[in-house]
Amino acid sequence: MKNILVCAATLGLALLLFACKESFEPNAPFQEKYVLNCLINADDSIQTLTITRGYAPNPDGSATPMGDLGVKDALVRIWVEDSVYFFHDTITDRTDGTHGGGKVSFYVCNFYRTSPGKKHTVEAILPDGKKLVSSFTMPSRVNITMDPAVSVPSINAVSYFLQWETYDRDVYFYPRLTLNYSHLENNNWVPGAKILPSDYISRNGTMQYMYPIPSASHVVKFEKAALTSAINDLLKIDSDKSHFKISGMWLDVYTLDKYLTSYYSNTAMQGGDFTIRLDEVDFTNVSGGLGVFAGYVHQTVFVNLNEEYIHSLGF
């Protein structure tokens, strides 16, 4: 299910990449173009890929496609150095409510094997003979410098830092810190998780959390006041603090390869999030068409939460 949802998201990315590539000319002859999108997760054996076709404007001048624009029956292969993996096409229901609903086509490989530092090359030969080609090198794993004997934050600190080491260049890192807790429900302890902010601001009298974003920095700073506020938000679930057990935190670090970094750099200048909009600068690294072929490495490490700090909050 996870990969199907990712596939649906990349299909939308494919449509937007095509739509923002060139300005709209209602009287220009239609030139069909193809978009290949694939983000390889170095830690997953199931990988998905989408190939979509461009679409002609509707008679009323709008450019909203309807139905499934996926290209079927293409020969799709990815080489990971000396190994080759074949992708087969499949179809699922569209669940995002866009493009008239119906079905969405994509390609999948269920036995994919890779590791950090390896070169990946994709070749998609379409039914009409056209070829889409791209390549990237998977980034290396980072060394997360986390002393298991150290807990954060200290009682007197106003902030705390989490950091990692890497030898890669031209890559971005996306850190995410998650609180692990259990909540007493019907005499049973039910596990829960909450993504933690790094800071907060006050806007129009309302607190607004801020979260880490992808960047080249090897360190991320968290304000203790934001952590305290986020933990106290648990009381919106249950006002009795004795009904919660807080066990610690997990730090996830996603290392984006240079092409995914370039994609984010191009789009972040226009919006600040991890999406493409019609008025944004577009990015492609696919020869023979458009799209993004890139990869990332995901690592997780446990972070000890200072028990004295948690007890000072009454939990």
Query: Which residues, in sequence order, are CB contacts of 14 under 8 Å at separation 6+?
Result: 35, 36, 37, 50, 51, 52, 290, 291
Distance CA 234, CA 179 (A): 11
Tell me, yes or no, whether 228 lies in a domain.
Answer: yes
Residues 93, 27 share a domain: yes
Residues 95, 131 share a domain: yes
Tell me, yes or no, whether 284 lies in a domain.
Answer: no
3-class DSSP state of 58: coil
Q: What's the confidence (pLDDT) of residue 222?
A: 97
Q: What's the confidence (pLDDT) of residue 63?
A: 53
Distance of CA 298 to the CA centre of its chain: 10
> Domains in the chain: how many in total?
2
Tell me, yes or no, whether 208 lies in a domain.
Answer: yes
For residue 125, what is the DSSP state? E
Residues 215, 149 share a domain: yes
Q: Is the dihedral of CA 304, 306, 307, 310 positive or negative?
A: negative
Domain boundary among 89, 123, 138: 138
- Is it true that the peptide bond before 127 is cis, omega within 30 degrees of 0? no
Domain boundary among 114, 138, 162: 138
Tell me, yes or no, whether 264 lies in a domain.
Answer: no
- CA-to-CA dists, residue 81 to 2, 115, 119, 135, 315, angstroms: 27, 11, 6, 11, 51
Tell me, yes or no, whether 22 lies in a domain.
Answer: yes
Residues 26, 125 share a domain: yes
| Domain around 30 | 2-138
Question: Cβ–Cβ contacts within 10 Å for residue 121, how many?
Answer: 15
Tell me, yes or no, whether 246 lies in a domain.
Answer: yes
Tell me, yes or no, whether 160 lies in a domain.
Answer: yes
Residues 122, 105 share a domain: yes
Q: What's the confidence (pLDDT) of residue 204?
A: 85
Per-residue pLDDT of the chain (315 residues; tens, 9 = 90+): 344 334 434 433 433 333 333 333 344 444 578 999 999 999 999 999 999 987 555 555 555 555 667 899 999 999 999 999 999 999 886 665 555 556 788 999 998 989 899 999 999 999 999 999 999 999 999 999 888 778 999 989 999 999 999 989 899 999 999 999 999 999 999 999 999 999 999 888 888 999 999 999 999 999 999 999 999 999 999 999 999 999 999 999 999 999 999 998 887 655 444 443 433 346 899 999 999 999 999 999 999 999 999 999 999
Domain boundary among 116, 138, 160: 138
Q: What's the confidence (pLDDT) of residue 73?
A: 93
